[in-house]
Amino acid sequence: NDAGDVYVGGAGSEKIFASGPKGSQDAPWIQPGSNEFRLYNHADHKLLAQLTVTMPSSDVPASSPSASP
């Protein structure tokens, strides 16, 4: 079985986000800050990959080119 389980959250507070052999899932609940996702093998819960997604807060201005004199 090649199914995997994707969890989101920090150590001790992980929640299942998605499960299956392939696919995609929207995450409209992501808030500014860091969100950690972990992919585990479904059969033995072995950690396969980890990804941290960081969303800037809305008060941080977008970067823009600066003019040189």
pLDDT tens for each residue of 11-66: 678 999 999 999 999 988 888 888 999 999 999 999 999 999 888 887 655 555 55
Count CB neighbours of 33 within 10 A. Answer: 10
10 Å CB burial of residue 60 (0-12, 13-18, 19+) is exposed
Beta-carbon contacts of 46 under 8 Å, excluding residues fewer than 6 positions away, are 40
Flag whether pLDDT at 8 surpasses 90. yes
Distance, CA of 49 to CA of 6 (rounded, Å): 9
For 31, phi and psi rounded to 5 degrees? -110, 160
